Amino acid sequence: MKQESSDSIPRLLKWNIAKLRKALKDVKQLQQLPDEKVKDGTLEQTIEEKLIMNLSNMRFSKIRFSKALGRKMKSTNMRRRRECLKKLVDNILDDSKMNALAMIDELRKEKDSITNDMTTKIERLENEKKQMEIEKESICEPLNDEIAKLKKLVESQDKQIVMLKDVMRKGPLTMMHELKNQKQSLEKDLIEKVKSLEKEKKQLELQKLKIQEDNDIVLQSKDQQITTFARKIEEIEEEMKNQIQNVDKQNKKLCLVKDRYIQTLLNKANVLERQKAKQQDVNNVLQMQIDEFKIHEVTQHYADETEGIVHQVTQNATLEKIRRLEHEKEELELELLDIRVHEERQKRKVEKSLISPNSNIIALKARERKKNTDADFVYEDLKKKTKTGNELFLDVDDLVES
Domain-ending residue, one of 228, 251, 285: 228
- Is the predicted pLDDT of residue 277 greater than 70, yes or no? yes
233 vs 227: CA distance, rounded Å: 10
Q: What is the domain extent for residue 163?
A: 121-228
Question: In this predicted structure, what is the pLDDT of residue 44?
Answer: 46
Q: Higher pLDDT residue, 254 or 87?
A: 254
364 vs 41: CA distance, rounded Å: 11
Query: 1: which DSSP letter?
Result: -
138 vs 116: CA distance, rounded Å: 33
Q: Higher pLDDT residue, 169 or 150?
A: 150
pLDDT tens profile 195-216: 777 888 788 888 878 877 877 7
Backbone dihedral angles phi then psi of residue 3, each to the nearest 5 degrees = -105, 130
Same domain, 113 and 132: no
- Is the predicted pLDDT of residue 123 greater than 80, yes or no? no
Domain-ending residue, one of 174, 205, 228: 228
Q: What is the largest CA-CA distance in the chain?
A: 189
Specify if 274 maps to a domain: no
Same domain, 166 and 40: no
* C-alpha R_g of the chain: 48
Specify if 300 maps to a domain: no
Of the ranges 133-142, 287-296, 375-384, which one carries the lowest mean pLDDT score?
Answer: 375-384
What proportion of the chain, given as a percentage, has pLDDT over 70? 46
59 vs 53: CA distance, rounded Å: 10
Specify if 298 maps to a domain: no
Contact 325, 279 (CB under 8 A): yes
Same domain, 23 and 82: yes
Same domain, 252 and 362: yes
**In Å, what is the CA distance from 285 to each residue of 182, 275, 282, 302, 356?**
153, 15, 5, 21, 66
Specify if 317 maps to a domain: no
Task: Please give, one letter per residue, the 3-state secondary structure of 34-82.
Answer: CHHHHHHCHHHHHHHHHHHHHHHHHHHHHHHHHHHHHHHHHHCCHHHHH
Average pLDDT, rounded, for the chain: 67
Question: In this predicted structure, what is the pLDDT of residue 213?
Answer: 80
Of the ranges 85-89, 119-123, 214-218, 390-394, which one carries the lowest mean pLDDT score?
Answer: 390-394
- Is the predicted pLDDT of residue 70 greater than 80, yes or no? no
Same domain, 140 and 57: no
Specify if 318 maps to a domain: no
Average pLDDT of 232-261? 83
What is the dihedral sign for C-alpha 28, 34, 40, 44?
A: negative
Of the ranges 31-35, 180-184, 201-205, 286-290, which one carries the lowest mean pLDDT score?
Answer: 31-35
Of the ranges 58-72, 78-92, 263-277, 312-326, which one carries the lowest mean pLDDT score?
Answer: 58-72
Same domain, 95 and 183: no
Domain-ending residue, one of 181, 203, 228: 228
Specify if 114 maps to a domain: yes
Question: In this predicted structure, what is the pLDDT of residue 12?
Answer: 46
Contact 9, 334 (CB under 8 A): no
Same domain, 141 and 39: no
Question: In this predicted structure, what is the pLDDT of residue 373?
Answer: 54
Backbone dihedral angles phi then psi of residue 301, each to the nearest 5 degrees = 55, 45
Residue 359 pLDDT grade (very low, low, confident, very high; cuts 50, 70, 90): low
Specify if 176 maps to a domain: yes
- Residues contacting 374, CB < 8 A, separation 6+: 397
- Is the predicted pLDDT of residue 292 greater than 50, yes or no? yes
Question: In this predicted structure, what is the pLDDT of residue 109?
Answer: 73
pTM for the model stands at 0.24
Question: In this predicted structure, what is the pLDDT of residue 302?
Answer: 53
pLDDT tens profile 316-356: 888 888 888 888 888 888 888 888 888 888 888 777 766 55
Question: How many domains are there within the chain?
Answer: 2
Same domain, 20 and 88: yes
- Is the predicted pLDDT of residue 189 greater than 50, yes or no? yes
Same domain, 252 and 378: yes
Sequential DSSP letters for 371-398 = HTSS--TTTHHHHHH-SSHHHH---HHH
Same domain, 146 and 215: yes
Sequential DSSP letters for 255-308 = HHHHHHHHHHHHHHHHHHHHHHHHHHHHHHHHHHHHHHHHHHHHHH----HHHH
Same domain, 245 and 352: yes
354 vs 351: CA distance, rounded Å: 6
- Residues contacting 266, CB < 8 A, separation 6+: 78, 81, 82
Same domain, 180 and 243: no
Q: Higher pLDDT residue, 98 or 319?
A: 319
Q: Which amino acid is at 321?
A: K
Displacement of CA 170 from its chain's centroid (Å) = 105
- Residues contacting 73, CB < 8 A, separation 6+: 81, 333
Judge residue 204's burial from the number of C-beta atoms within 10 Å of its C-beta, 0-12 exposed, 13-18 middle, 19 or more buried: middle
